[in-house]
Chain A
Amino acid sequence: MKLKHSLKTAYTGLEQNRARSFLTILGIVIGVAAIILVMSLGQGAQALILDQVKGMGTRTIIVGGGREPKGPSDAGQIFNDSLKKRDLDFLERRENTPSVKFVMPLIFGAAGASYQSDTYNLTIFGASPLMEKIFDMPFKTGGMFTEEDIRARAKYVIIGNKVKTQLFGADDAIGQVIKMKGYNFRVIGVLTEQGQSAFNFDEAAIIPYTTAQDYVLGIKYFNRFVIEAQSDELVNSASDEVALTLRESHNITDPAKDDFFVITQVSLANSLSSITSVLTIFLAAVAAISLIVGGIGIMNIMLVSVTERTKEIGLRKALGATYKDILTQFLLEAVMLTGMGGLVGILLGAFLSWAISAGITQFTSIAWTFSFPVSAALLGLGVSGAIGLIFGLYPARTAARKSPIDALRYE
């Protein structure tokens, strides 16, 4: 029997039970739709993360004190004091780090800021003027402090948009004085609202790092060095140079005993995207379970259908259908069912993830982009076809094995 006729026969078989065929494939539709949804949202999340990491510049290298924080038990590492002024001097020496363009020390902590009777708890960043460039800070009014202000331990502050609104309302903040840890700081800049992004300075105050160390936070170390390589190609060599220089400065010979860690944006992006990949795969696997459940449903209905159509099978055999003809007919029916389920599921999943993407963009300030996971769609179609084959095989064999006499006699 030719494939064309087999297809038509199988299709006719399904069409005669349209309502039942539809209900049967619902499990597959939902399973495939769920997989597409998870994969699409996973891709979107990954794109978002990579976008934000790239927003900080792919040439950026971050150095922190202590071990690289890998879990909750490493929370204490944030107070590690291994990065000192001496390290900064070492790193800034051109002969030590030829691939490095500049090094910015960064410290952070929490403090209350008050203006007149209002107090607001904010995050303090102690930084250098390079901060503006590295984080691409958008000034609403005013501007950044200078290298001179660093040396002079100037009590200047740049505040985020939310801090400004909380303390000053609609009034102009530039030139006003706010009080932090008993010291008066003059506001020299206000940032525009940033909303959801990787680096959110809306609730922050940025002051010279020298001022932060000596007056506000009272510490002698740095939390981070933010380093920029000369070029994208030199990121890896810059990160090696930084590590070697710090080991020299700390008298460390065994890299396993490093009391600092170096992260490049590339490695950060990689580890973040591997986390989202694992999550996506995990969720897709959960969704795939519903495909198996759907497959069992298909097998169940196919068995019912084979029993119902025993007489038809007997007739076809009496008229000359071979084992293979009957097997093919019922297998094709199963594959057609699941294939259609897969197709509908892909469309449904794509529509849902598009709707969710549109919703995220509409109702939040996250720049979410909808992406249709082509590979997941092909996978979904392939898997649903395979499920038809696997779960259709047993009913199809049952059908093909029927003896024409018994089948014709069946009432």
Chain B
Amino acid sequence: MPLIEVRNLTKVYVNDEIETPVLHGVSFGIERGEFVAIMGPSGSGKSTLLHVLGFLDGYTNGSYRFEDKEASTYEGDAMSHIRNKKLGFIFQSFNLLAHASVFENVKLPLFYSDIPESEWTKLVTDAIETVGLTHRTDFDVTRLSGGEKQRVAIARALVCSPEVIFADEPTGNLDSKSGGGVMQTLQDLNEKHGHTIILITHETYTAEHARRIIRIKDGLIESDTEVVARRHTTAGMLMK
């Protein structure tokens, strides 16, 4: 059974009694170990879909099953717990805690987890190593480059060993070189460590790093295709 299964999902925002439908009924499934890009222009509903899939927001109709359990059965704290345990988030604007070290930033999700404190240091160190920032462990994040900041965010998303990592325009604030490094890191996570990754982007170039692209337009799925010519950033660029 798929890790994520969406059937006829709709989402209508109600603001001051004015209804704004955003998702008009989308259906797809995502298996463990996939690397899927959700693509679409702004206003297409891709961010809304990410919020619903990421347990940050509810949905109006249809069904969203995560690990074969209907997402609407989770409420309040249960949603917080599932975000903490099963999901990792990477944002366009990094969202790191300023004036804190790389180590402190990566540790943040553990505060809200039930993982014993004795394991924290190892988990954090391992996550930082995975993204290749061990030499920056004690640096204040404000001293890092954009690409490094995003890799800190990736390490933070990894630290609780989630089932899925959501990356919302992870290269949007980066130049192409650092963006390439971030995409390479995500590909490594998927290929070498078997992490399921859902990437949200409006750039075809970025989306082509994934194995599969779901295109969304006006709240409906336009196409759902395998990537034929997958892009890879050279390892040499990453080691910079």
Contact = CB atoms under 8 A, between A and B. Distances in A.
Interface of A: 1-2, 5, 9, 12, 16, 311-312, 314-325, 403-405, 408
Contacts of B77: 322-324
A321 B91 contact: no
Given A12-B100, A320-B109, A324-B77, 11 more contacts: A2-B117, A9-B111, A16-B99, A314-B95, A316-B108, A318-B56, A319-B84, A319-B108, A319-B156, A322-B80, A325-B111
A320 B76 CA distance: 11
B32 interface: no
A5 B113 CA distance: 12
Contact of B112 (A12, A319, A408): A319
26 contacts: A1-B111, A1-B112, A2-B117, A12-B100, A312-B97, A315-B91, A315-B95, A315-B97, A315-B108, A317-B80, A318-B54, A318-B83, A319-B108, A319-B109, A319-B112, A319-B156, A320-B80, A320-B81, A320-B84, A320-B85, A322-B76, A322-B77, A323-B80, A325-B80, A404-B56, A405-B57
A321 B89 contact: no
B104 to A, nearest CB: 9
B231 interface: no
Main secondary structure, interface of A, reads helix
Nearest to B51: A405
Interface in B59-94: 76-77, 80-81, 83-85, 89, 91
A24 B112 CA distance: 29
Which of B81, B83, B99, B117 has the most A CB atoms < 10 Å from its CB? B83
A407 to B, nearest CB: 10
A320 B57 contact: no
Nearest to B86: A320
Nearest to B107: A5
Contacts of B83: 317-320
B45 to A, nearest CB: 14
Nearest to A325: B112
Given A405-B56, A405-B57, A408-B91, A320 B97 contact: no
Which of A5, A9, A320, A324 has the most B CB atoms < 10 Å from its CB? A320
A314 B97 CA distance: 12
A316 B51 contact: no
A119 B31 CA distance: 115
Contacts of B99: 16
Pick the 3 closest A-B CB pairs, nearest first: A320-B84, A320-B112, A322-B80
A70 B96 CA distance: 72
A405 B95 CA distance: 13
Nearest to B48: A405
B172 to A, nearest CB: 14
